[in-house]
Amino acid sequence: MAVRSVARTTPYLEKVAVEARYNDVDPVYAETRDIRLFGFVLFLLADCVLFGAFVFAYLYLRTAAPTWPPVVDGKQLPRLDVAFGAMNSIVLFGSGVTMHFALESWKHLKKLAFNFWLVATILLGIGFLAGQAHEYMSAQMTWQGSTFGASFFTLTGLHGFHVFAGVCFLTVLGIQANRGVYTGSKYFGLVAGTLYWHFVDVIWVLLFFLFYLW
């Protein structure tokens, strides 16, 4: 009766009580899940602001330059290898697909499938980082050599750091999942990991267009 009287005045608590009762969800977890999701979305928005500041700086430098890529020591820098960048992009975008399948597998209590897709996501993320490292070593420019080089290494390096952090994040999530931290109705960490990985994918779409296609 007490729950019903409160629920009449607070529909959100009614929803939490019903979910906890019929879906075997911890009431505290159910009540704070949306708050944690909101906080994580704010974190991703803050990251968007960080990338946005560097992107606008790059756009300013590019529009102010008479030629692009700029001329260094009397020679115009070559454009980036679009074919290689596209292949590396496919690797990263493919990891977004596998991460989606990993989360869906967990929702349907398919642990083996979850482990397969999660490991595939981590390996693809590592593959993308390896491709980026190869591109850095073979690039015909340096960070301090030109505005183009500084912009390229700063933005793609910042993104690469996020991919590396994501690989570590997903590895921890996989360990937690196999140790019983998450259940079929309590898996916010996996949702957060999936959102973060999709965020990394979306940022790379913008960077690939700016540096390789434009």
Give the number of domains in the chain. Answer: 1
List the chain residues with pLDDT less than 50.
Answer: 1-9, 12-22
Note whether residue 16 is domain-resident: no
Are the CB atoms for 101 and 117 separated by under 8 Å?
A: yes
Q: pLDDT at position 11, please? A: 53
Q: What is the DSSP letter of 213?
A: I
Note whether residue 21 is domain-resident: no
DSSP lists the bridge partners of residue 71 as 76
Q: Count CB-CB contacts under 10 A for residue 156.
A: 20
Q: Residue 59's closest CA among 155, 144, 135?
A: 155
What's the CATH number where 75 sits? 1.20.120.80
CA–CA separation, 117 and 51 (whole Å): 28
Q: pLDDT at position 26, please? A: 65
pTM as predicted: 0.84
CA–CA separation, 49 and 213 (whole Å): 23
Domain span at residue 92?
26-213
